[in-house]
Amino acid sequence: MGERNRAVAAMLLFVAAGIHVLAAYEPLHLETQLFYVFWGVVFAQVLAGALILLRIRWGAGWALLVNAVLILAYALTRLFPLTGEAMPEPVELLGVLSKAVELVSLPVLVVLFRTAPGRATAGSPAEPL
């Protein structure tokens, strides 16, 4: 079960990163600094997927943080305009798809995070770092 969760989590992170690659090349993003932001997102999600596949202890925690920040940032930029912009960002298909993939990944990442080696479980002493 753990290996399947690890593979599913990494696959979802890589799919979300792939969607962000496509979004980076949208005409409006090519004309702004957002192009580089998208590549930062791709890097963070690919790194998270690799850390999970490599069984790095804090990989699931990093992935949870990355996806939670991306979901929050997407919601906020659809509600409020970015600095210097008159209107919030539009809701578009690639954005909705990437957020859907990231939302689906959250429960799998929580399971991985809670079962990560070195994490204390209820009734067991914490393992020293």
Counts for the chain of helices (H) and strands (E), in that order: 5, 0
Asked whether residue 128 is assigned to any structural domain, the reply reads no
At 59-117, the pLDDT tens digits run 999 999 999 999 999 999 999 998 888 999 899 999 999 999 999 999 999 999 998 76
Dmax over CA atoms of the chain, in Å, equals 55
Total Cβ atoms within 10 A of residue 102: 24
**Is the whole-model pTM more than 0.75?**
yes
Domain with 60, as residue range(s), is 2-114
Asked whether residue 98 is assigned to any structural domain, the reply reads yes
Asked whether residue 89 is assigned to any structural domain, the reply reads yes
